[in-house]
A and B are shown apart, each in its own frame.
Chain A
């Protein structure tokens, strides 16, 4: 009897999980479907779901009109560069906060997080002027720095949480065996926190990939990533939903594929230490 109840509950939970998953995924699915429709079918009312004449025309138009490769490369460089730089800075910071906390460590952590609450537009002009002075407007390096700074509090917080789960005694033992600070972080701490670091990297890659305020406002023709590529297909005077959907699908495809293949790592990292 008890087993039957458990099986039934499991089935309900599974169905619920699928329903929620599909609900969350639906906008993406709809975007992908729309990208294969003609502009007329895209605005049809009632909406057409699967039974329409599938066309690749929108992808052809987008590829012809835009230099997708350039946008893609800029996205990879900016998201990858900012995440890498962020992790390099955050690992020692999180180590010191987790293993040699001071009196103000908690305050510093909270203060770091509070910078995320500042509306980005509030600092647009100062940063824009700074970029002009430094000559890094519309450059990948400028965006790498800005996105790294924006995401740094999250990276430090996540790594701090993971590092706190690692017993300090292990690091102490390493020290007794003669490991220096560098060896301790690289050869002892990092391998043990690898799932956490991997999920931090993945999450920040996604955040940097999708960031649309700074990447639109600090770029022009040279460093514009895929967010600008999508924005170039949005029009208030003209129905180009199918082309916009094709551009959106092309922009999210790389990160969607990356997320799909690394989902196990991502979930493992995000639940690291959550269940004991």
Chain B
């Protein structure tokens, strides 16, 4: 007898909770017609960004590839003294079929070149289409860090910045001077 009352009460309470939901805002969205808001720091597709001057930010330092826990980043450093006299990746490849979107590459990147963006729609029918080369990865903007330009703060010379022209740099030393 007692049990029957408990069953009936639970039933009514449960129905009441369901009924209450009728008047709340639904959580489900009609993807893909409706798209959820993803914050800028959401870790989705990986891009390579450019510096404020419009040049590739990646300096091919290999830190992203060594930080990658699934080893899905491969690149080769190259240098073209005629074009811009700075190091860049000859190829830069991410195998997204292996990527786990952990963001370690972004964390390791000393030049803010590699960034994870809130785009996650990467489904493909063939795995080979998930292999992104540099031309697929490189975007034309600066991404999340609009101002940073590695070569303005690094001590090396490039085609448009001589020694001593970087931030917090003195003019090159005149070795032949004996003045104190």
Co-complex (A, B): no
Name A residues whose Cβ lies closer than 8 Å to a Cβ of B: none
Name B residues whose Cβ lies closer than 8 Å to a Cβ of A: none
